[in-house]
Amino acid sequence: MTSVTHRIPGLVLTDHTFRVPLDHARPHAATIEVFARAVSAAGKATDDLPWLLFLQGGPGFAAPRPLTNSGWIKRAVSDYHVLLLDQRGTGRSTPLTFQTLAHMSTPQAQAEHLKHFRADAIVQDAEWIRRALLGESARWSVLGQSYGGFCATHYLSVAPHTLSEVFITGGLPPLTAHPDDIYRTTYRHVIEKNQRYYARYPDDVAHVQAIAAHLAAHEVLLPTGDRLTPRRFQQLGLDFGASDGFERIHYLLEEAFVQGAQGVELSHTFLRGVETLQAYDANPLFAILHEAIYCQGFASRWSAARVRQEFPEFELRADAPLFFTGEMIYPWMFEEYRHLRPLQAAAELLAADDAWPALYDPAILRANTVPVAATIYYDDMYVAREFAVQTAATIRDSKVWITNEYEHNALRADGEVIFGRLLEMARGQR
């Protein structure tokens, strides 16, 4: 373990790098680096405070980089030393990208490597770090956002004796559901989001149709050289699950067309904005493992693509509003996104794999004694409340705050309030 400490106003930051096994079942074989940043309030860095591990959403996203002493971190460092974990493959933790996978000789080798980047391996890394940083017998608390909540629930299933408290924001996972059932529910929520979007911005119905028609009739290239197809344009709905998502997409669309040398064309501003929202170059894990995070003894077989056929609302039609899609990954993305193309064969192998181990133990969760406080966002487009409520009912003595006041990004949008309330719930103050 190596460590470096620096400061920003109000916070002391200590960077830690750990070398852990790629496969924890084979600890003496290949290893990777895992990075974590400890955050403490200025003046409390040496205090004997409990530790709070933060698990980011994803899969495939690094932990937040503190810029100021604000949000949920500001509330958390009043009571804890916080550890921001770059989950394996993200950020400074031996990053997993098309570049780092290129040296592997075959798609099969890539696929076998990628199998080691789900929640089970992330939790094993966390346990490795806990022992190295705090000692074998020490306990710590966990805050899991979105997919980080999936990881936290797995943690409760395999190592509850090392946990003091668990906080989950928008991330109570389906325990046993098949991806097909999950996507059937999720597509219905995405339809509702589209209806709300067009109710807020009715003029965008015609505007969106015009953009889609232009894309169908012309070869439009993004700044990277990728073609922007109508179905790729349709993926902008991924943002609809955030509290500011409608506005972000609306403002992007209103600058779509300009008068160019050859007539009306799509603006560079618009194309650059689309590309920014659809960047898979830094986090291919999100695309490659998105369906695999739900798999336990069965293959996904491109679940989102298959289930989409049950929802004609998403068909591209000139006589109906174009409905944007949400947090779904499709096999054609590994053809149209240049940074995913090198991973197409590996992605196909993973989609066909039915040997994924179980991630959750309902029996252990029903016997749980660790204080658990969680938020369920009623209108959550990414983690359906229907399954979240079932999971909450399974975890013994868990306390749940169900609200439609916030969207999935609540921890980022109003983190001091969100984490403060969960802390009160876990401590029996609510």
Q: Which residues carry out catalysis?
A: 146, 380, 408
Tokens of 221: 């290239």
User: For the chain, what is the HEC assignment?
Assistant: CEEEEEEECCEEEEEEEEEEECCCCCCCCCEEEEEEEEEEECCCCCCCCCEEEEECCCCCCCCCCCCCCCHHHHHHCCCCEEEEECCCCCCCCCCCCHHHHCCCCCHHHHHHHHHHHCHHHHHHHHHHHHHHHHCCCCCEEEEEECHHHHHHHHHHHHCHHHEEEEEEECCCCCCCCCHHHHHHHHHHHHHHHHHHHHHHCCCHHHHHHHHHHHHHHCCCECCCCCECCHHHHHHHHHHHHCCCHHHHHHHHHCCCEEEECCEEEECHHHHHHHHHHCCCCCCHHHHHCCCHHHCCCCCCCCHHHHHHCCCHHHCCCCCCCCCCCCCCCCCCHHHHCCCCHHHHHHHHHHHHCCCCCCCCCHHHHHCCCCCEEEEEECCCCCCCHHHHHHHHHHCCCCEEEEECCCCCCHHHHCHHHHHHHHHHHHCCCC
**Number of residues in the chain:** 430
Q: What are residue 78's phi and psi, to 5 degrees?
A: -70, -25
Question: Which residues face 373 on adjacent strands?
Answer: 167, 399
Q: What burial class does residue 158 get, using C-beta atoms within 10 Å of its C-beta: 0-12 exposed, 13-18 middle, 19+ buried? A: middle
**Dist. CA 291–CA 307, nearest whole Å:** 13
Q: What are residue 112's phi and psi, to 5 degrees?
A: -65, -40
Question: Which residues face 403 on adjacent strands?
Answer: 377
